[in-house]
Amino acid sequence: MEITAAAAVVVVLIFLFLSYNILKQIRRETKHGGPKLPPGSLGWPYIGETVQMYSQHPNVFFATKQKRYGEIFKTHILGCPCVMLASPEAAKFVLVSHAHLFKPTYPKSKEKMIGPSALFFHGGDYHAHLRKLVQTSLSPEKIKKLIPYIENIAVSLLDSWAGHGQVINTFIEMKKFSFDVGILSLFGHLDGSIREKLKHNYVIVDKGYNSLPTKIPGTTYHKAVLARKRLSQIVSEIISERKEKRLVDSDLLGHLLNFRDGDGQILTEDQIADNIIGVLFAAQDTTASALTWILKYLQDNHNLLQALKAEHISSEGGGGGDQKPLTWAQTKNMPLTYRFMMESLRMATIISFTYREAVVDVEYKGYLIPKGWKVMPLFRNIHHNPDFFPDPQIFDPSRFEVAPRSNTFMPFGNGVHACPGNHLAKLEILILLHHLLTKFRWEVVGSQSGIEYAPFPIPKQGLPARFWKESITSSPQK
Give the residue ranges of the annotated binding site for heme. 419
Q: Could you tell me the sign of the dihedral formed by the alpha carbons of 345, 349, 355, 360, in that order?
A: positive
DSSP state of 435: H
Distances (CA, A) of 21 to 133, 370, 401, 478: 44, 15, 52, 60
Q: Is the peptide bond before 58 cis (omega within 30 degrees of 0)?
A: no
Rounded to whole angstroms, the Cα distance separating 236 from 332 reads 37
Rounded to whole angstroms, the Cα distance separating 372 from 352 reads 21
Q: What is the DSSP string of 67-126?
A: HHH-SEEEEEETTEEEEEE-SHHHHHIIIIITGGGEEE---HHHHHHH-TT-GGG--HHH
Q: Pick out the residues of the known binding site.
A: 419
Rounded to whole angstroms, the Cα distance separating 220 from 206 reads 10
Length of the chain: 478
Task: Find the angle CA(423)-CA(425)-CA(429) to the nearest 5 degrees.
Answer: 120
Distances (CA, A) of 153 to 178, 198, 435: 10, 17, 11
Smallest Cα–Cα separation from 349: which of 458, 447, 425, 422?
Answer: 458
CB atoms within 10 A of CB 460: 14
Smallest Cα–Cα separation from 416: which of 113, 119, 87, 59?
Answer: 119
CB distance 94 to 102 below 8 Å: yes
Task: Find the angle CA(297)-CA(302)-CA(306) to the nearest 5 degrees.
Answer: 110
* Partners of residue 451 on adjacent β-strands: 459
CB distance 58 to 350 below 8 Å: no
Rounded to whole angstroms, the Cα distance separating 1 from 193 reads 58
466 CB burial (10 A radius; 0-12, 13-18, 19+) = middle
Rounded to whole angstroms, the Cα distance separating 270 from 233 reads 9
Q: Work out the end-to-end distance of the chain between its first and last CA atoms, rounded to an integer number of angstroms.
A: 64
* Partners of residue 375 on adjacent β-strands: 83, 356
